[in-house]
Chain A
Amino acid sequence: MQLLHQLKKYYPGFLFLLIIVLLCPSVIAQNSFNLRGSVSTRQGELLPGANVVLQELNKGAISNIEGQFEIKSVPEGSYQIMVSCIGFQKLVKTVTVNQVNPLSLDLVLTEENYKIGDVVVTGKSATRRVIEQAYQVASVSTKELFNSTADAKAVMNRIPGVRIQEEGGLGSVFNFTLNGFSGNQVKFFMDGIPMDNFGSLNLGDMPVNMIERIDVYKGVVPVWLGTDALGGAVNIVTGQKNNYFDASYSVGSFNTHRASVNGAYTNPKNGFTVRGNLFYNYSDNDYKVWARIVENNTVTDTAWVRRFHDRYRSASLKLETGFVNQHFADNLLLGILLSGNDKEVQHGATMNTVYGAITRNNWSLIPTLRYKKKDLLAEGLDVSLYSAVNIGQSQVIDTLSGYRYNWTGERFPVTTSDGQASNNAEFYRTYSTLDESEFNTQANFGYALSTRSSLAFNYAINYFHRKAFDTEHPDNIDNHFPKSLTKQVLGLAYKFDLNKKWSTTVFGKLFHIKAKTSKEFDFALETQRTEAVENKQFNLGYGLATTWFVFPELQLKLSYEHTSRMPMPEEIFGDGLFVGSNPDLGPEQSHNLNLGAEYYFRTNDKNRFALGGSFVYRDAKDLIYTVVTVSSPKTHFDNLSKTRVMGLEGNFLYEWNNLFHLGGNITFQDITDRAKMIYNESYTGTGWQQNFHYGFRLPNKPYLFANLNAGFTIDNFLKKDNAFKLNYYLNFVEEYFLTWAELGTSNSKYVIPRQFSNDIELAYSLKKGKYNISAECRNLFDVKLYDKYYLQKPGRSFSLKLRYTI
């Protein structure tokens, strides 16, 4: 019995070992003198799954996960070789095969068309590019969106499993959800640098023109990102080209202006490079909402009114300079990112509270350094290093005294019967400033042990420091203590290919945090005091990702990770006001499993299809939530809850002759509460109570949503080298409950109704895309859209975008 117990305890570990043993590489060598080569993109990234056909022989091959292909027994002669890969322009060229000197071909494909798929193409070293291969990742190229006014947020909202719940228009607060995980459980990166504390640069700010690609890793995160994500990670890859220029300006409804300038120059001789991205966003967000008008504590009307205090501005400048493709470095770049925004706050968490003077602002200054070198010191040893310092400040200002606003924008003085003006602020009087500094460094090493196996090692360190001050409440004791967190992540991955069809990566991660904070002891007793405390903790993560090309068109993927998310500073330290600190807080943990299949096929030269589906399983425990203490106004965070996610995702893409494409995806996720007990500091003597929601689906989270897009591209429209494009997007979210569906009578429930939103884009490009003009309409049918509570998003809007590229 004891043994059984022990076994149970170590069961995950045993299972893991077993899998490693079973999958150990038994190398099978193959030799042949035939037509070989590689398929790559113009950026030099090797392409797996490309179709290579010798047309005369009707004979072909599919490139493997390293982009290599081989066609056996090709007789001497001259052939038309045709290479195709979904998302790339077809390539046809003549090759001559001579059996005495086996030919090696380097075939380069040009990207085309917007696509959502599970194809990973990254600019990492060869070793690690392959390591990433088996992960469940959605990668979206933004290339075809460059003429739209979309931003990073809008691009991601079209990815299966991703749902972005927005509160309003440009610059509004939003909640990113990936397979049911949200907030700190999903980590964001820009070019591999953590964005956790980039308060001043959010996904809604970044125009598509500065982004090359967005990779969304679902549940299982490769070690090279060096992070502790519970539900996955997102890496935003900005422009990587060596020479280009892209400038655009758009103007739209609600006085929205967005401008961006992006470019890079590289000296071909000495490799000196300068690259930069600059953008500016502005919107009044004065769209109409259906709101209650309150005067003198009485509801006088419900009417369509314009939002009057929701202006948002943001700007960012990113500059990098250094050298590329030199003997000492593939790239060595020193950069700086400067960004800032300010926002007027129109309402609270619901539209019942309306504000007319509360504002927020952020700025940050982030110097960066990156270095990358393949084959450093020894062949097969690849090294890369990222380093960034983040100095940032954010403010919340609520200092308007003695006035209240209603939805008409009118303000009313709050005075007492004897004529005194109130000194109350609109919500909570504050002029608080958070000064945050952060230091991040990540080093990645990849080493190819053989042609079929490699090792990758990652070390990341993150130091975070926060100082808070509120000029309206200078005595706030919590603000008098420095708060810091040091987080280190070690990752080791071993990748091996059983054969050309099957690649597997196993990995382990080690997390360590050291938090310093203050804690209040013995409240209400004579010994009451606040003392500085320190907290250190370790945690382990491990996982596996494997992919198998059953046959060249069909790829299967399986990935699993036992993930952890270490607590964030604000969870350990509290907000300094009503959220107390909990230095005993441990990590959130989850078992994440993905099972996916991708099928690419073509019926002839013109019809191309891609079909994909995946099953998503998440079993999360120790989730960090607020402890409820009803008899007290203060709360804190603790490891309390458990949830389970069972999801299904499907996607398809159809392309016809580079002229028409139709794509879509659907996500169903059943997120249920799995905690049998809940804890609160009230009600019962033990603090524990039955969780009456056990097994119920979590409310306020969409569980069924879908996206559809269709488009035409007509090349050489009206004139040679001019192109016309029409794109249509449909977004669907099924009705969901704001409160538990199982409780209460069904007719009195609070629901977010079923929603369809339709967007349409027209673009015309001249001179091979040098000059572009585009027009778009969002929310075409002007329907009421909501994501959170009843916060209305913009109605129908129009915009016009001009873009110039070299």
Chain B
Amino acid sequence: MKNLKTSTKMLQSVLLAIALFLISCSKDEVSEPEYNGEDAFVLSLAYQGTDGNFTYYTVQFDDVMTGELTAVGKGIDMPGYYTFNQIDEKIYATGGFELTDIIALQKKQDGSLEEIGANASFANSLQDIIETDDNQLVAIEMSSSSDVISLHRINPESLIISGSTQTSASNIADTTGPTYSGMVQSGNYIFVSYYLSDPTSFSTNYTDKAQVAVFSYPSLEFIKVIEDGRTGPVGGWGTHSGLIKDESGNIYALSHTNPANGYSQFTQDAAILRIKSGESNFDPDYIFSFDEVTGGKTTAHLVYLGNNKVFTEINMQNRSEQSAWSDSPLKPAILDLSAKTIDYVEGVPEHSGLGRKLAATSLYDGTYIYMVVPEDVSSYVYKIDPVNLTATKGAEVQANFTAGFFKL
């Protein structure tokens, strides 16, 4: 037996030697020193393989306004289909190739990124993660093919679940296919917006009213569904911006019923409704009607900036002209919830959208908004001044799309 082992080892060594020779013949690995400084931008860059699979690389950059941004030789890689959300000093990654964990990226002492987590694993991929007033995380599992909606309260430090509830989807819809479109927490409530989409054909046959499910916080128990017939369903496919919250806890619900964002029909005008802070019903006195302001244009993306200002990307085609699922063509604008105005940002070309959560794919650092805009073939960083409504073109992004734009 010993001899056999020895000869095996010998054979293995021979093969190994050949292997190493062949490897050394192949080209050298590309590597660049990583930026480890303070105040780094962090971009989650998505690379599409020719086989259609994606890999995400979360990379630090100190300058996003010049040169080229690439993941060659740097960044933490994550195969699969991920979504990213920055909450405080961590970036939470959910999704991935059959991975239903919650993973966080954070800065180490030396300034480089590290991956933590893998303590919690869910039955299905998490749709979204939000932060609560008491600095906890709430995550949701909700899919049009599932009859259960799960809410989880998670400690952001340990990534351990402190409480979960399962709610039957039949509570919020008589038919199958409630599809998640947005979530916020305010006071004693969690609000979850959704629309009804057939899990097989994706057709949306119920577009006459806005619906938001109300849960208690922190106990996460289902309370009721609130409805409003002044506009259609809230939110759309993948954008997760059906609901936003202002600094005083008022909730705004966006209805667009855009064919470009997953609707097969629209029967109501696009509008924004309000749920006043502390309440759990739509405010009958508030409506932001898009038709009056934009002349028929709508938006599927809202990011709350502060002081009633909202960063948005307006779809420049009327709904009847939009091509299905395209999330295009978009033009950035600043929307005022109280003045009910929309002001377009100049200097950014009309572009295609990602159909993803704009709050994750753009960065507001208190002064400027950074986002990656795809042009004909390449993509570029644009720095937007939301006060003066101007924009500056920055670095070229050497990735197929940018799934997250953050600052840690």
Stretch at the interface among B128-136, B242-250, B287-295, B394-402: B394-402
Chain A, range 689-714, C-beta contacts under 8 Å to B: 689-693, 697-699, 704, 706, 708
Alpha-carbon distance between A227 and B378 when the two chains are bound, in angstroms: 41
Chain B interface mostly helix, strand, loop or mixed?
Answer: loop
User: Which among A418, A525, A683, A708 has the greatest number of chain B C-beta atoms within 10 A?
Assistant: A683
Return the CB mask of A725-751 against B: 1 if under 8 Å, else 0. 000101010100011111111101110
- With A417-B166, A627-B52 already in contact, the answer to whether A685 and B352 are too (CB < 8 A) is yes
Least Cβ distance of A431 to chain B in Å? Answer: 14
User: A625 interface residue, CB < 8 Å from B?
Assistant: yes
Nearest chain B CB to A220 CB, angstrom units: 25
Name the distance in Å between B83's Cβ and chain A's nearest Cβ. 11
Q: Decide if B238 is an interface residue (CB 8 Å cutoff).
A: yes
In contact, A683 and B75 (Cβ under 8 angstroms): no
Bound Cα distance A357, B76 (Å) = 36
A623: Cβ under 8 A from any B Cβ: yes
Is residue A77 within 8 Å, beta carbon to beta carbon, of the partner chain?
no
Question: Smallest distance from the beta carbon of B5 to chain A beta carbons, Å?
Answer: 8
B261 touches A631 (CB 8 A): yes
A678/B79 contact (C-beta < 8 A), A297-B120, A414-B123, A745-B73 known: no
CB < 8 Å neighbour of A298 from B23, B161, B263, B399: B161
Q: A298-B161, A577-B200 are in contact. Are A423 and B378 (CB under 8 A)?
A: no
Chain A residues lying within 8 Å of B147, measured Cβ to Cβ, are 422-424
| Contact of A732 (CB < 8 Å), options: B15, B201, B324 | B15
A641 and B51 contacting across the interface, CB-CB below 8 Å? yes
B389 at the interface (CB under 8 A from A): no
Contact partners of B375 in chain A: CB under 8 A: 684-685
Q: Which stretch (B84-92, B93-101, B227-235, B270-278) binds chain A?
A: B93-101
From residue 665 to 690 of chain A, which have CB atoms closer than 8 A to chain B? Answer: 666, 668, 670, 673, 675, 677-678, 680-686, 688-690
Which of A27-35, A305-313, A325-333, A347-355 lines the interface with chain B? A347-355
Is the pair A739, B55 in contact by a Cβ cutoff of 8 Å?
yes
CA distance A744 to B326 in the complex (A): 30
Query: Cβ of B156 < 8 Å from any Cβ of A?
Result: no
Q: Are A749 and B77 in contact (CB under 8 A)?
A: yes
Q: A418-B168, A630-B401, A678-B400 are in contact. Are A744 and B57 (CB under 8 A)?
A: yes
Contact, CB under 8 Å: B30 / A742: yes
Q: Are B34 and A477 in contact (CB under 8 A)?
A: no
A476 to B202, CA, bound (A): 11
* A434: interface (CB < 8 Å): no
Q: Is the CB of A415 within 8 A of B166?
A: yes
- How far apart sit A123 and B374, CA to CA, in the bound complex (Å)? 60
Q: Does A2 contact B (CB under 8 A)?
A: no
A732 to B16, CA, bound (A): 9
Residue-wise, chain A 340-371 has the 8 Å CB interface mask toward B (1 for contact) of: 00000000111011000000000000000000
Q: Contact between B50 and A691 (Cβ–Cβ < 8 Å)?
A: yes
Shortest distance between the CB of B68 and any CB in chain A (Å): 11
Please state if A693 and B47 are interface contacts (CB–CB under 8 Å). Answer: yes
Determine the residue in chain B with the shortest Cβ distance to A351: B98
Which of the residues B29, B327, B377 comes within 8 Å of A682, measured between beta carbons? B327
What residue in chain A is nearest B80 (Cβ atoms)? A350
Whether a CB of chain A sits under 8 angstroms from the CB of B106 is no
Residues of A within 8 A of B331 (CB): none
The complex places the Cα of A678 from the Cα of B328 at a distance, in Å, of 19
Given contacts A299-B118, A689-B400, A745-B34, contact A635 B52 (CB under 8 A): yes
Q: How far is the CA of A670 from the CA of B23 in the complex (A)?
A: 11
The reply to whether A744 and B71 form a contact with Cβ atoms under 8 Å apart is yes
Q: Please measure, in the bound complex, the distance between the C-alpha atom of A505 and the C-alpha atom of B86, giving whole angstroms.
A: 64
Q: Which residues of B contact A741 (CB under 8 A)?
A: 29
Most buried by A among B98, B118, B238, B260: B98
- A415-427 interface bits toward B, Cβ cutoff 8 Å, 1 = contact, 0 = none: 1111010111000
Residue B240, interface by CB 8 Å: no
Given that A682-B354, A744-B71, A744-B75 are contacting pairs, would A631 and B379 also be in contact in the complex, using a CB cutoff of 8 Å?
no
Complex contact A743–B55 (CB within 8 A)? yes
B352 touches A739 (CB 8 A): no
Please report the C-alpha to C-alpha distance between residue A101 and residue B389 in the assembled complex, in whole angstroms. 106
Q: Which residues of A contact B34 (CB under 8 A)?
A: 745
Q: Which residue of B lies closest to A640 (CB)?
A: B50
Q: What is the number of contacts between chain A and chain B, taking CB atoms within 8 Å?
A: 255
A526 to B398: give the CA distance in the assembly, Å. Answer: 39
B245: shortest Cβ distance to chain A, in Å?
25
Q: How many residues of A contact B (CB 8 A)?
A: 95
Instruction: Say whether A378 faces chain B, with CB atoms less than 8 Å apart.
Output: no
Residues of chain A lying within 8 A (CB to CB) of residue B398: 690, 692
Q: Is the CB of B123 within 8 A of A404?
A: yes
A416 touches B148 (CB 8 A): yes
Does B329 sit at the interface, judged by CB under 8 A? yes
**Interfacial chain A residues near B152, Cβ < 8 Å:** 297
A678 lies within 8 A of B48 (CB) = yes
B237 at the interface (CB under 8 A from A): yes
A623 to B50, CA, bound (A): 9
Taking the complex as formed, is B205 at the interface, i.e. its CB lies under 8 A from any CB of chain A? no
A635: chain B residues at CB < 8 Å are 52
Q: Is A523 a contact partner of B50 (Cβ separation < 8 A)?
A: no
Query: Are B238 and A631 in contact, CB atoms less than 8 angstroms apart?
Result: yes
B237 touches A732 (CB 8 A): no
Least CB distance, B115 to chain A, in whole angstroms = 8
Within 8 A of B (CB), among A74-91: none
Contact of A668 among B22, B351, B378 (CB under 8 A): B22
B145 beta carbon closer than 8 Å to chain A: yes
Write out the residue numbers on chain B whose beta carbons fall within 8 Å of the beta carbon of A626: 51-52
Q: Flag if A693 contacts B50 (CB, 8 Å).
A: yes
CB within 8 Å for A632 and B263 given contacts A666-B18, A704-B19, A742-B30? no
- Whether the pair A684, B374 counts as a contact (CB closer than 8 A) is yes
A670-B15 contact given A297-B122, A683-B352, A748-B77, CB 8 Å threshold = no
The reply on A536 being an interface residue by CB < 8 A is no
Complex Cα spacing A749 to B15, Å: 24
User: Which residues from 312 to 344 on chain B have a C-beta closer than 8 Å to any C-beta of chain A?
Assistant: 324-329
B400 contacts which chain A residues (CB < 8 A)? Answer: 678, 680, 683, 689, 692
Docked complex: A381-436 residues within 8 A CB-CB of B: 404, 414-418, 420, 422-424, 428-429
Q: How far is the CB of A512 from chain B (nearest CB, A)?
A: 28
Give every chain B residue within 8 A of A668 (Cβ-Cβ). 22
The answer to whether B15 touches A684, judged by C-beta atoms less than 8 angstroms apart, is no
Interface flag for B406 (CB, 8 Å): no
Does B376 lie at the interface of the complex (its beta carbon under 8 Å from any beta carbon of A)? yes
Most chain A beta carbons < 10 A, residue from B52, B201, B351, B355: B52
A150 within 8 A of B: no
Considering only CB atoms, which chain B residue lies closest to A632 in the complex? B325
A146 to chain B, nearest CB (A): 24
Q: Is B281 an interface residue (CB 8 A)?
A: no
A-facing mask of B94-128, CB < 8 A → 1, else 0? 00011111000000000000010011111100000
Contact B328 A685 (CB under 8 A): yes
Residue contact A629 to B166, C-beta cutoff 8 Å: no
- CB closest residue in chain A, given B118: A299
Tell me the complex Cα distance, A721–B245, Å. 88
- The answer to whether B268 has its CB under 8 Å from any CB of chain A is no
Question: Closest Cβ of chain B: how far from A663's Cβ, in Å?
Answer: 12
Residue ID in chain A nearest B201 by CB atoms: A477
Please determine whether B356 and A630 come into contact, CB atoms closer than 8 angstroms: yes
- CA of A523 to CA of B22 in the docked complex: distance in angstroms? 52
- B222 CB within 8 Å of chain A: yes
**Do B77 and A631 have beta carbons less than 8 Å apart?**
no
20 further A-B contacts with Cβ under 8 Å, apart from A424-B148, A684-B351, A743-B72, are A297-B120, A297-B152, A297-B161, A352-B98, A416-B148, A525-B259, A577-B200, A628-B48, A628-B52, A630-B238, A632-B325, A643-B50, A673-B50, A684-B374, A685-B352, A685-B376, A693-B49, A743-B55, A744-B77, A756-B12
Q: Can you give 7 contacting A-B residue pairs, CB < 8 Å?
A: A352-B98, A631-B238, A682-B401, A689-B378, A730-B15, A745-B34, A746-B73
**Nearest 8 pairs between A and B by C-beta?**
A631-B355, A641-B50, A632-B325, A744-B77, A626-B52, A416-B168, A524-B259, A524-B324
